[in-house]
Chain A
Amino acid sequence: MKHYTFTLLLALIISQAHAQNHTISGTLRDATSGEALIGATVFSPTLNAGTTANTYGFYSLTGAGKDTILLIVNYLGFEPQVKKVLFRQNIKLDLALEPSARALNEVVISSEKPSDENVQRPQMGVLDISVRLIRELPAILGETDVLKVIQLLPGVQAGNEGTTGFFVRGGNADQNLVQLDEATVYNPNHLFGLVSTFNARALNNVTLVKGGFPANYGGRLSSILDISMKEGNDKQFVTSGGIGLVSSNLTVEGPLKKEVGSFIVSGRRTYLDILAKPFLKQNAGYNFYDLNAKVNWRFSQNDRVYLSFFQGRDAANYTDAAGLDFGIGFGNRTATLRWNHIFGQKLFLNTSIFQNSYFQNYFSVKAKSYTQFYTGIEDVAVKVEFQYFPNPKHRILFGGQVAHHDFTATGKATSVPKDTSIQKININKIAPRKTDEAAIYANDEWLLNDHLALQLGIRAPAYRTEDTTYLRFEPRASLRVSLPGNASLKASYTQMNQFLHLVSGSTAALPTDLWVPSSRVTQPQRSTQYALGYFRNFRENRIEASVEAYYKTMQNQVLFGEGTQLLEQSNFDDVLVFGQGKSYGVEFFVKKNFGKLNGWVSYTLSKTTQQFDAVNLGREFPFKYDRRHNLAIVGAYHLSPKWTLAADFVFYSGSAFTLPGGRFMLATGGSLYSGHYWDYTEYNNYRLKSYHRLDVAATRRTTMHWFKKKVASELVFSIYNLYSRRNQYFVYTDLNILTNQPVAKQVSLLPIIPGFSWNFKF
């Protein structure tokens, strides 16, 4: 009886609550292009409640019914909108924000009061990157670059110049999930990491999550780089492009049917190979291209379909008179089909089907030795995700994902036969390793009261391969406590699992990284991360500041074993060894989003170590990218309506590498070695010199008229490595048997490099 009474009472409370509450929902879009304003904030002072737009611009806000409510909509770079809305019933309200005046080539100090979302949301370790700022910052050879900006954020370490990837909170490059419209991009780089594979003109939003992960994110230990492509202008046809020193790009977008459907096609190709040819004595070639395309169509007020495609390819070859013959090709392709459906006003459904493929093929012939490495991945996945906004106190996410992966990884090392007919690896004859991955998850962002907010999540990933199955549970929790003075204290706890491993050689910076799936022997990587942060905004949220401390442990880390290399006949499990990693650090971040001067200062003090029973005699050693100090100062100054000046300065401690400590001679050793042996005493026992670099850029904006049409023109002048510091790319040692003298050689890659590009839009 007691049980029935309780149920009845609960039902009554719920029905009462429903009777009193109304919901306002809709989409937030750019008034000029129709692009979704991802992360735009909607706040009602009347309801004392707010929400943010999701990846598709959808928002939903529920509150007690009133005659009218006031809504304030904010988004960085757009004029805020204040609206009075009748709130006697559920309302659908789509809003379009006008870009702020500066975006229209006029410098103003906006009077808008920015959002304090960074302080109020319970989640920590999230960094939203303005695509506009990405395009204003200096870029090598004038090529704007998302990843170069990511590398300037706190907690993020750049690889060496020329190496791929970025490293977040002590994690390896493979622990970053880089997603373009939800599809994984396994190698997000062109030109050996100098230019990212993402064409900034085709992007809408970039978010980096490095801690306090909501449960919808999984599959990697260290970070999620979530990149959304533009949808395409659904109001008018727009052509934009850029001509740079090494590449040019062109983007065309427009409505398929006005405000119903749109498309965008964006392409970029380098002509470095053509420009460099006259200056090269050697036979060398290099080219890359990338192509983004997307269409979307709104079938009804509640249904929208998106189809996006991306392909990037790199190919390089080099042959010199000394007999070095080198070639590398790699590429990514992704395709995503997504369907958004809105049930009523509180439930948003997104269903995605995506396919992606990646390959890297490297070969070299030197001193009659032939070496080849190949790694490839093919994925097909389906993801279904619901977002439920029952009331202003809860924002619930739940869903599931299923993915199938085919992995191919192999290597070959042999000498060149006398008839020089090299038998290259026949990729088609290598049977791929097939694996399946699935996950279900639920996440609630729960506003307990004005001072406390909680984010609770659970994710249950499962993984199956030929010889084993793994089932894991990943609890996630974040807490925010509001403090006086527009400040908050946040804490988070995260567990993550990763079923893929990128195994990197620790010696020279050679492109021999191989993707390897988990197996019975190669167990999934697992991490536990604790983080604590203090967030505070100043000057009415125009300056954001934070200090975050983290401690992260990583299990089942993978390396090639001592003295091993991957050969064609190798089983991954025979050449890999397993260990653990540990990283901790403090990250300081001050960011200014508004006014003439935009930018940030970030400083990270961190330490990362690894321990493998079968490596370094079982002793702990520094992670390759363990850099104690990492400082980045980034700024863009809007000098006048026409001119913007920008600069970035980076300083970081040198990365670790293995140097022989000593050497000795033997009288009884193998004759081939002439008696000389090297004594490697410790893994990663030496450091490259500290790295620092200053880049500057100046942008001049004008408006021209071509054939009676207004054309926005942008000239960008940039200088990479202004004081031409010869930073160490890598150091190697040698012992000349003829002179018996040991030598160390430093290789530096990039001196001062001026850049120039011209961008246009009409």
Chain B
Amino acid sequence: MKNILLIISVLCLLQSCQKDITIDPPAYESKPVIECLLMPGTLPKVYLSRSVPFFNSAATPSALFLQNAEVIISEGGTSETLKTDSIFDNFFCRWQPYYGGKIATKPNVTYTLTVKISGKTFTATTTTDVQAVEIEEVNYTNSFRDAYGEHQGVVVDFTDPAGRTDFYRFFMTREVDSTVQTIDNYEYSSKCIGAGTTAIEDIGWFVYSDAHADGQISRMIMEPSHTFKQDDVATVRLQTLDKTAAAWFDHLDKLKQASLNPFIEPVILKQFQFRGALGVFGSVNLSVVGLEIVFPEDNE
């Protein structure tokens, strides 16, 4: 008897119990999510979606898209009402709807974005004076460390223009086949690429600031967000952002790290430009010349 009790006790202690549960989540008010990064010489795109309660099943861009909104971009005496459009994301096998314009963005102009939805109006302004910065050299490293640990990465060297505050994100494009996966824990593989290839954009998750390196030769190292193989080729550019966009993406980066890493404290999501809505209306630019990198080894 004593032995039976002993065995039961030890087994019970060591057996923790984990199960999926349905919880009654805290009340959550859905908010519009407005994204628009204007880049001179390109057509404006406004991604307009909504946030949903955490356990809501809607989880694709199409399901979250806010239709029937009035989206206007104006500058001086000119204004344009953007129309709904969409593009198919071949890698994630999903449609990405947006509101698109026909008038190319001009440099050094202050634009106003007005979004009217469900009786509410959201406005913000941005000036397209962000300068492109060219990359001087691109290299590969098989080991560097960032907040997520040690990785293989792409090394971007450039000279920061002196006398102004700049913010940068890594921007890489390449053609990938169906064997390529995301490198997050889910290791997603595309089901839509089939035997061919598709173009993907790899945007860096952190925002690099020149706050302590104004005018200096600078280096940014970024882990690719998708798997790669030896001899894969990619084109690397620098995305420059205005202060508002940089603050928004930096905040999101902290928020995301906190939600992924149990050792990091939760970050409460802030509203930046829009009262009652999430998102950003900012201006960006991109290096004119993209430098090629050939990966010398498979990623691990």
Contact = CB atoms under 8 A, between A and B. Distances in A.
A565 interface: yes
A745 B35 CA distance: 32
Contact of B249 (A664, A669, A685): A669
Chain A residues touching B, range:
35 or more
B35 A744 contact: no
A563 B254 contact: yes
Contact of B252 (A661, A669, A685): A669
Name, among A675, A679, A752, the residue most crowded by chain B CB atoms within 10 Å (CB to CB).
A679
A751 B26 contact: no
Contact of A279 (B14, B149, B204): B14
Given A245-B6, A415-B150, A674-B182, A667 B47 contact: yes
Interface residues of B, number: 92
Given A674-B184, A745-B19, A748-B16, A563 B255 contact: yes
Given A279-B14, A415-B145, A670-B203, A512 B52 contact: no
B211 interface: no
Given A417-B150, A744-B55, A659 B17 contact: no
Nearest to B19: A746
B265 A562 contact: yes
B51 interface: yes
Given A563-B254, A677-B252, A751-B12, A662 B300 contact: no
A119 B226 CA distance: 72
Contacts of A367: 185
B33 interface: yes
A42 B6 CA distance: 47
A665 B256 CA distance: 12
B109 interface: no
Nearest to A510: B262
A431 interface: no
Interface in B247-265: 249, 252-259, 261-265
Contacts, number: 273
Interface in B9-30: 9-23, 25-28, 30
Main secondary structure of the interface of B (DSSP, over half): mixed
B264 A507 contact: yes
A82 interface: no
A297 interface: no
A559 B98 CA distance: 41
A368 interface: yes
Contacts of B182: 672, 674, 737
Given A368-B149, A414-B149, A512-B263, A245 B5 contact: yes
Contacts of B16: 729, 747-749
A677 B270 CA distance: 13
Interface in A593-621: 615-617
Contacts of B21: 731, 744-746
A190 B148 CA distance: 32
A563 B257 contact: yes
Contacts of B69: none
B211 to A, nearest CB: 16
7 contacts: A141-B9, A512-B263, A662-B28, A674-B184, A681-B269, A731-B21, A742-B55
Interface of B: 2, 5-23, 25-28, 30-31, 33, 35, 37, 47, 49-57, 59-61, 64, 92, 96, 98, 143, 145, 147-151, 169, 182-186, 188, 200-206, 223, 225-226, 249, 252-259, 261-270, 278, 280, 300
Given A510-B262, A681-B269, 4 more contacts: A418-B143, A659-B25, A680-B258, A745-B21
Give 4 nearest A-B pairs by CB, closest first. A415-B149, A670-B205, A740-B59, A563-B254
